[in-house]
Amino acid sequence: MLSDVPRTSLAVIVAKAGLNPERVTPKVCRHTYCSARPQSLDQGQPVAEFTVERELGHSSGQMIREIYVHLGQIRQRTEGVEFLPAPAGTTVAGQG
């Protein structure tokens, strides 16, 4: 089925990276993006809720405001978001 292609492709890449494909899913990647995007800058200014809403395909900004936007208010905004691997033997918060 065509809709399984992105999930299958991601699972192959994740497995080749030595990670667990059951824990790194398209949903986890989307959530990570949603969490990071409001913390980034666009031409030196905080990214607008509207921009994030449209990038994610939401028809309303309610979910963005309730769940993700507050992250940009409590963390340092940056031009880019850097993801570093967790030290060996640790788990990612919320991932059991």
Amino acid type, 73: Q
Beta strands in 29-86 (DSSP E): 41-42, 45-46
The pTM for the full model equals 0.61
78 three-class SS: strand
Residue with tokens 């990670």: 19
- What is the band of 15 on the pLDDT scale with cuts at 50, 70, 90? very high
Mean pLDDT value of segment 11-34: 89
Q: Which two tokens stand for residue 86?
A: 């967790």
pLDDT over threshold 80, residue 19 = yes
Q: Which of 30, 69, 67 is nearest to 46 (CA)?
A: 69
Rounded to a whole number, what is the distance in angstroms from the first to the last CA of the chain?
A: 30
pLDDT one-digit tens code per residue, 26-48:
888 888 888 888 778 888 787 88
pLDDT over threshold 60, residue 1 = no
Mean pLDDT value of segment 56-70: 77
Q: Which two tokens stand for residue 77?
A: 């905004």
